[in-house]
Structure 1
Amino acid sequence: MPSFLPEPALPYGQQNKTAVLLMNLGTPAAPTAAAVKPYLRDFLSDKRVVELPKPLWQPILHGVVLTLRPKKSAHGYEKVWLPEGSPLAVYTEKQAELLAQRLPDVIVRHAMSYGNPGVPQVLRELRAQGVMQVLVVPLYPQYAASSTGAALDKVFGELLQQRNQMSVRTVSRFYNDEGYITAMKQHIEAYWAQHGRGGKLMLSFHGIPQKNSDDGDPYPHECHETARLLAKALSIGENDYVVSFQSQFGKAKWIGPGTQELFDRLPKQGVLDLDVFCPGFVSDCLETMEEIAIAGREQFHEAGGRQYRYIPCLNTDAAWIDALTALVERNLRGWR
């Protein structure tokens, strides 16, 4: 017989609260190899993230990857670590706090797919508070099995442990949400007004292996649609922007064109002034602040580029919090 979690000590009549759970990828607890290693182990052991047979992948992971990569990643984290902690953790927590201010009649929490605060911990705390209805919003605008899918797996896995299961709604994507598009438009235009505008706008999304796309993952299609809608909102033409995909890992073929590949190629094609924005990230993190804002600038300049502007993510932008609030309110209808 399965063993389920004990139910809250609250009277059953008080177990009727509603919560919103914002989810993001996660982060190590410190910018050190010792802290990065267990985080990478959990992240890269997820079958949603690396779809290789376990007997093939685990020796590689525990041999080469977890021997070499933690030190390299820790060096990157050191460059972007904020006084309050990891950028991703800081901005995700602030987004949850700001959303809670807009929605005083519901409980708002955040959790990470890997690292802390973990999904089991947060859902059990919510259950102890009498929450029986939870709206889960992975903070990935475009759906990918390796990001949104992995996040929702964590939630559904915890439900398997509950005797009296919560009612759960999910927002699996919001790549074409009007508020999200408008928030990015206003954010980019405000940056241009303050810092100037380059000759081309690069919209860099996180990459996925080509095989995932071939097997039906909708991610690249949703990325291109986000880019099209954003370009339309900004009133820029097809020659004024380029879509690319960053953060390639391993030897498998990934969807392209690659962001790093374009950093080398664009100056040779006459693009000397480049603006870069990452629509797939609503919070700045290692992949945006180190890979794009720091390393990307260096690579572009070394290739002959002249002016490079990294436009920060939405983070705590007021229009983005407005859009997130509206998205949540639509999906809470009937529960409030």
Structure 2
Amino acid sequence: MKDYQLTGAPAVCPAHAPKDHPAVRPSKIGVLIANLGTPDGTDYFSMRRYLSEFLSDRRVVDYSPWLWQPLLQLIILTSRPFRSGAAYRSIWNNEANESPLLTITKDQTRAIRSHIEEAFGGEVLVDYCMRYGNPSTESKVREMVEAGCTKILFFPLYPHYAGATSATAVDQFFRALMKEKWQPIVRVVEPYFEDTAYIDALAQSVERAYAAAETKPDLLVCSYHGLPKRYLMEGDPYHCQCVKTTRLLKERLGWDDNQITSTFQSKFGPEEWLKPYTVEEVARLAEKGIKNIAVCAPAFSADCIETLEEINEEIKESFIHAGGESFTYIPCLNDDPAHISALTDLIKKNLQGWI
């Protein structure tokens, strides 16, 4: 069953048109929120389908397909789905039989939809899609067009721009538009890494976590998803945007430089990625005598495998094993009211001139 069925007024034959003219729905505006994606299940074949789609994306892994695909299909996808499936099972929402990312994205969409409906009534339809897995971007674009959306605002839920995240989501959106006879007018929400309301929501989450911690952290580690360093050298602005978010968060909290730092996680493959690597840096901090840390993930709009399993299990283990004592994971902003308010305000700004 669909989480939300896009609806609109019934389609009718346009005024002054011949009786055999196809019915047309009254014009609506769509807001399509996009997140990374999720496997449909934790079994081998569900994981293999998902990982194959994800790792076959040239924005994510830009090696020559002639070299990469045999390695991916014949070697990597023989064993990795088992390991990834086990990791997903450790965080899986068994009650809803879905990943936490999907559960949280649904919650975010419902909350945003409520605010948008309060502001604009039924004139704006709000839904979500995934870049990889389901519900697909193509299926949701099709539903919005069928519901009468002649304008669509596309919102990749990535605060920071990266070719492997924001750009591939937009690529997929435009591929979906290519299949529409009547292509809607579109806009894309720009990255919001320095948006004041977003920074404030991050700061509030840190303040709450510090107030609730039994042992006050000595340092806040802002762990961002990594990218090959080569991407930075080729012009991708992701690294610079991440570092700016950390600086703005530090200034909002009124902290000194020695109270906060930026690191990068999820390294994959043999080449050098953005440094310092989170898993190594937290161990180095513990060995250096910093025994109490907190970790947040500003680049993730929703908790997922990289935060719930990688940060709160693998990276935590690295810190404790190296002599750390207190590890506080600060959850992503998820459907926190301040986060929803910030996202809704961005949507309203981008709808100006359409409403």
Normalized against structure 2, the TM-score is what? 0.90
Q: Give the match for residue 20 of structure 2.
A: none
Name the aligned partner's letter for residue 260 of structure 1.
V
Q: CA RMSD in A?
A: 1.3
- Does the CA-based 8 Å contact 1:15-1:132 persist in structure 2? no
1:192-211 mapped onto 2 (5 Å cutoff): 192-196=210-214, 197-211=216-230
Residue aligned with 1:291, SS = helix
Between the aligned partners of 2:349 and 2:292, the Cα distance in structure 1 is 40
In the superposition, relative to structure 1, how do residues 11 and 189 fare at CA in structure 2: closer, same or farther (>3 Å)?
Answer: farther
Tell whether 2:202 aligns with 1:184. yes
Quick one: which of 179, 185, 193 aligns to 1:167?
A: 185
Q: Hey, what's the Cα distance between the residues in 2 that align with 1:312 and 1:11?
A: 50
Structure 1 residue 64 and structure 2 residue 75: aligned?
yes
- Match of residue 4 from structure 1: none
Instruction: Call closer, same or farther: CA 1:269–1:10 in 2, change over 3 Å.
Output: farther
Match of 1:306 in 2: 325
CA contact (8 A) 2:302 2:332 kept: yes
State the shift of 1:32 in Å. Answer: 2.0
Does residue 215 of the first structure (1) align with residue 234 of the second (2)?
Answer: yes
Matched, 1:91 2:112: no
Question: Distance between the aligned counterparts of 2:26 and 2:235, measured in 1?
Answer: 40
Q: Which moved more, 1:321-330 or 1:262-271?
A: 262-271
| Residues 267, 273 of structure 2: 8 Å contact kept | yes
**Does the 8 A contact of 2:11 with 2:26 survive in 1?**
no
Mark the runs of 5 or more structure 1 residues left unpaired by the alignment.
1-7
Structure 2 unmatched runs, 5+: 1-9, 15-23
CA contact 1:284–1:315 (8 Å) conserved in 2: yes
How many pairs are equivalent? 329
AA at the equivalent of 1:143 = Y
- Percent identity over paired residues: 39
The secondary structure found in structure 2 opposite 1:14 is coil
The 3-state SS of whatever aligns with 2:86 is helix
Whether the aligned pair in 1 keeps the contact of 2:37 and 2:130 (CA below 8 Å) is: yes
CA distance in 2, matches of 1:192, 1:19: 39
Secondary structure of 1:108's partner?
strand
Contact 2:155 2:189 in 1 (8 A): yes
Deviation at 1:76, TM superposition (A): 0.5
Q: Is the 8 A contact 2:129 2:135 kept in 1?
A: yes
1:47 deviation in Å?
0.7
Aligned counterpart for 1:287 among listed residues 306, 326, 330: 306
The answer to whether the Cα contact below 8 Å between 1:9 and 1:128 also exists between their aligned partners in 2 is: no
User: Partners in 2 of 1:167 and 1:98 — Cα distance?
Assistant: 25
| Number of the residue aligned with 1:36 | 47
Instruction: Report how far residue 75 of structure 1 moved.
Output: 0.7
Residues 148, 172 of structure 1: 8 Å contact kept? no
Other structure's SS at 1:55 match: helix
Residue 265 to residue 48, structure 1, CA distance change in 2 (3 Å)? same
Runs of 4+ in structure 1 over 4 Å off: 8-13
**Residue deviations 1:58-80, cap 9 Å, x none?**
01111221012111111110111
* 3-state secondary structure, aligned to 1:80: coil
Structure 1 Cα separation of the partners of residues 276 and 320 of structure 2: 19
Worse-matched range after superposition: 303-312 or 195-204: 195-204
**Alpha-carbon distance in 2 for matches of 1:142, 1:33:** 32
Tell me by how many angstroms 1:195 deviates.
Answer: 2.1
Match of 1:3 in 2: none
Aligned counterpart, 1:152: 170
Q: CA deviation at 1:263?
A: 2.1
Aligned position for 1:137:
155
**Preserved CA contact (<8 Å) 2:224 2:265:** yes
Aligned to 1:322: 341
1:261-276 paired onto structure 2 within 5 Å: 261-276=280-295
Looking at structure 2, the residues matched to 224 and 172 of structure 1 have their Cα atoms a distance apart, in angstroms, of 18
2:115 aligned residue (102, 105, 123): 102
Q: Residue 257 and residue 70 in structure 1: after superposition, are their counterparts in 2 closer, same or farther (change >3 A)?
A: same
**1:41, distance to aligned residue in structure 2 (A):** 0.2
Equivalent-residue separation in structure 2 for 1:14 and 1:71 (angstroms): 46
Q: Please tell me whether the aligned partners of residues 199 and 240 of structure 1 are also in contact (alpha carbons under 8 angstroms).
A: yes
**How many angstroms does 1:242 deviate by?**
1.1
The alignment partner of 2:127 has SS state of strand
Aligned counterpart, 2:65: 54
Deviation at 1:33, TM superposition (A): 2.1
Larger RCO (CA under 8 A, 6+ residues apart): 1
Q: Which residue of 1 aligns with 2:5?
A: none
